[in-house]
Structure 1
Amino acid sequence: MKKNLMLVGVCASVLFYCSCSGKKEEEKEEKTNYTATSPLTLDTSFTKEYVSQIRSVRNIEIRAQEKGFLQNIYVDEGQNVKAGQLLFKIMPKMYEAEVLKAQAEVKASEIELANTKLLADKNVVAPNELAMAKAKLAQAKAEESLAKLHLSFTEIRAPFDGKIDRLPKKLGSLIDEGELLTTLSDNSQMFAYFNVSEPEYLNFQQSKSKNNTNVSLILANGETLGSKGEVETIEGEFDSETGNIAFRAKFPNPNQLLRHGETGKVQMVIPLKNALIIPQKATYELQDKTYVFVIDSKGVAKSKEIKIGGELPDLYVVASGLQQGEKIVFDGVQKVKDDEKINFKFIEPKQALSQLQLKAE
């Protein structure tokens, strides 16, 4: 009985020793499982998205130029119209009467001038009276032209090809001079306005080429517009409050998919010089902030917040928080604890990037 108990005790001791040895071996293996690398400095570029406001190349308000009742509406909301097409007519009766009156005055002045000229030729009247008759005729013709102009204002036509917006007034409405009747948008091409920071603006200008003036447009449903756009112009001044400057890109719109007032995201290639690049897998996020583990000279891993300036496939461009030459944990980030002393194997930055599934261009 005693021999059996001793045998059981010995076996238990052996198992406990093996278990402890195995655990220590695993811990040792876990400690040596880390790899580290450093940021890589290089010239590159990345694609960044900017919230944009989409505007028609031409968008104007159509307003009444004369007062009166809205007699006819020849278009409907959302309708495409051609330049010169009749859109509205404001009751023209009064203006037609003014034209007839002016025409009658012109006729009377012409007769008066003819009679005066006849008398002047016979030296019956002074030359000044002939001059006054001519001036009176000129004045009558001017009044006629003005009356015709007012009459023409009762017919409102499209100044260019475009699409009609909402019609706030209905037939029979009393229209005041200057009152809004609708808006007209030329959607043949569209502008996208977006704001760019000062550093990105400088990088864009210093390495300006056809490649980085071409931009894409992501629509509100997440789809990409089939046609590429081009950055055409940049605003003259920076916004003193935001530090940004407005860019304007023009996009073709052959299918009339884009409308005035839409929103989207412009994707533009931002060139970077001496950019600090690290693998995304070397980072972790906490409360919307990005961190890495920096390894000090004693092998202690310390958590450090960094700011991301851009994103490439599998890579981050570091804007601040990290210096060239600093060692960071590459593999095993999720296992490391802050202020933990670790054993690690250092691999060169280029070798670390070559292990990623995707490569930066």
Structure 2
Amino acid sequence: MPKIKVHKIVAIAVLIATAAWVITGEFSSVGSAADEAEAARAAAPEQEQAPLRTVAVVKPPRLQHSRAIRISGHTDADKRAILGTRAAGVVEELPVRQGSQVKRGDVIAKLQAEGKEAAVETARQLLSQREAEGKAAQRLAERGSMPALQLDNAMSALASARSQLEMAQADLDRNILRAPFDGVIDKVDVELGSSVQVGATVATLLNLDPILARGEVSERDLRYVKPGDKADVRLVNGQEVEGEVRYISRDATSATRTFRVEVAIPNEDRSVPAGMTAEITLRADPVDSTVLPRSVVSLSRDGDLGVRAVDADDKVVFYPIDLVDDTPRGLVLGGIPADVRIIVAGQELISEGDAVNPVEADQETINKLIGEATGGTL
């Protein structure tokens, strides 16, 4: 009979021992121990859990602040006219030059008459003659010494003479170019003695009082703006002026879906030129708002911009904000309920729904956050 080897006997023993351990079910104690440990932690007394996070809160003051809508734009003349000749001829008089101030009706340029004045005088003499003949014809007709047909002929000749005079005078007036409105001569395109054709450009006339600041407002902000609202205009050279919204287009630009806005700015001294880059701040009606430092603003789980606060149960809530204005003093925010406690320190370490330990912010924290916003107090 062959002898059984030792290593086979050892293998059989290990197999029998393993089968016996599996049958007893003792291996389940590993998972059970983990479950028991988790249950023990859940059942631990509340005082043994991590303490609530402490956050600093404030009740910011309320104020009425005008909504600021900032847009880019440029200045432009209130009126702009390119003056051209209505007749051909030679420039005989040119009483203006660049920068000249003119009133409505002032002569800008005059062409040589070239016989047109004589035509006017001839027509005037003919009219005088026809008027005399017409009066004589009327007297004769009243006495019955002239047929009615001859009287009609005399009246017709009188009307024709008047028409000829008007035509001759109109032809002469075409030689004189006058200012259509008050303004300043920005450019002169001809010289004294030069020959010009009909429609030739003589000068450019601008009316700079008021001057306009033109820009385009987005369709989202259109509802906040109306004619008559105040507007602040900051020019690229640092000059700041104030105006009033004069016109808002009701037809959006097709490419940008924005609406043209015109702000009229008093400019009696003409210190504001046309064509200068400007930042226009439109001031809408005041709304209930509060001033808070930029550091208080955070993002929600959904990526919305807002502030975190503490409700009556000392739990964290999130309020989306409406940016009313961005000032050197801080952000002017709308959409925040009254008497809410805003978290000003520790808001980045908590989430909505967390229970916290709110404490009133000390004066040092307030001064650091607000600075000059309200004189160091909230």
Shift of 1:92: 1.3
CA gap 1:360/1:117 in 2 versus in 1, 3 angstroms: same
Structure number with greater CO (CA < 8 Å, separation at least 6) is 1
Partner of 2:196: 174
Amino acid at match of 1:358: E
Of 54, 78, 84 in structure 2, the residue corresponding to residue 63 of structure 1 is 84
1:249 and 2:269 are equivalent in the alignment: no
- Contact 1:47-1:267 at 8 Å conserved across structures: no
1:45 and 2:45 are equivalent in the alignment: no
Amino acid at match of 2:276: E
Shift of 1:77: 0.8
* Whole-angstrom distance in 1 between the partners of 2:366 and 2:262: 36
CA gap 1:40/1:195 in 2 versus in 1, 3 angstroms: farther
Report how many residues are paired: 313
Partner of 2:111: 90
Shift of 1:106: 2.8
* Whole-angstrom distance in 2 between the partners of 1:311 and 1:275: 12
Amino acid at match of 1:233: R
Which has the greater radius of gyration?
Answer: 2
- Contact 1:52-1:263 at 8 Å conserved across structures: yes
SS in 2 for 1:93: coil
CA gap 1:81/1:271 in 2 versus in 1, 3 angstroms: closer
Partner of 2:246: 233
Structure 2, gaps ≥5 residues long? 1-51, 299-303, 310-320
Of 274, 279, 283 in structure 2, the residue corresponding to residue 265 of structure 1 is 279
* Whole-angstrom distance in 1 between the partners of 2:111 and 2:202: 11
Partner of 1:194: 215
* Whole-angstrom distance in 2 between the partners of 1:237 and 1:39: 42
Shift of 1:293: 11
Give a deviation string over 1:237-262, Cα, whole Å, max 9, x none: 25264454444333222322023333
* Whole-angstrom distance in 2 between the partners of 1:123 and 1:239: 74
Shift of 1:70: 2.2
Give a deviation string over 1:115-149, Cα, whole Å, max 9, x none: 76687688776320221122112111111122112
Structure 1, gaps ≥5 residues long? 1-31, 285-289, 296-305
* Whole-angstrom distance in 2 between the partners of 1:293 and 1:274: 16
SS in 2 for 1:222: coil
Shift of 1:99: 1.5
**TM, length-normalised to structure 2:** 0.61
Partner of 1:138: 159
Amino acid at match of 1:129: Q
Amino acid at match of 2:237: N
Paired-residue identity, %: 19
CA gap 1:60/1:216 in 2 versus in 1, 3 angstroms: same
* Whole-angstrom distance in 2 between the partners of 1:81 and 1:132: 48
Summarize the alignment of residues 201-240 of structure 1 with structure 2, pairs less than 5 Å apart: 201-203=222-224, 213-225=229-241, 228-229=242-243, 231-235=244-248, 237=250, 239=252
CA gap 1:203/1:81 in 2 versus in 1, 3 angstroms: closer
Shift of 1:174: 1.6
Amino acid at match of 2:326: E
SS in 1 for 2:99: coil
Amino acid at match of 2:183: G
SS in 1 for 2:240: coil
* Whole-angstrom distance in 2 between the partners of 1:216 and 1:118: 73
Amino acid at match of 2:214: Y
* Whole-angstrom distance in 1 between the partners of 2:171 and 2:122: 13
Amino acid at match of 2:190: K
- Contact 1:40-1:350 at 8 Å conserved across structures: no
Of 327, 340, 345 in structure 2, the residue corresponding to residue 312 of structure 1 is 327
Amino acid at match of 1:224: E
Shift of 1:175: 2.6
* Whole-angstrom distance in 2 between the partners of 1:114 and 1:356: 93
Summarize the alignment of residues 20-169 of structure 1 with structure 2, pairs less than 5 Å apart: 44-45=64-65, 48=68, 49-107=70-128, 109-110=130-131, 113=134, 126-169=147-190
* Whole-angstrom distance in 1 between the partners of 2:137 and 2:372: 97
CA gap 1:80/1:346 in 2 versus in 1, 3 angstroms: same
SS in 1 for 2:71: strand
CA gap 1:148/1:307 in 2 versus in 1, 3 angstroms: same
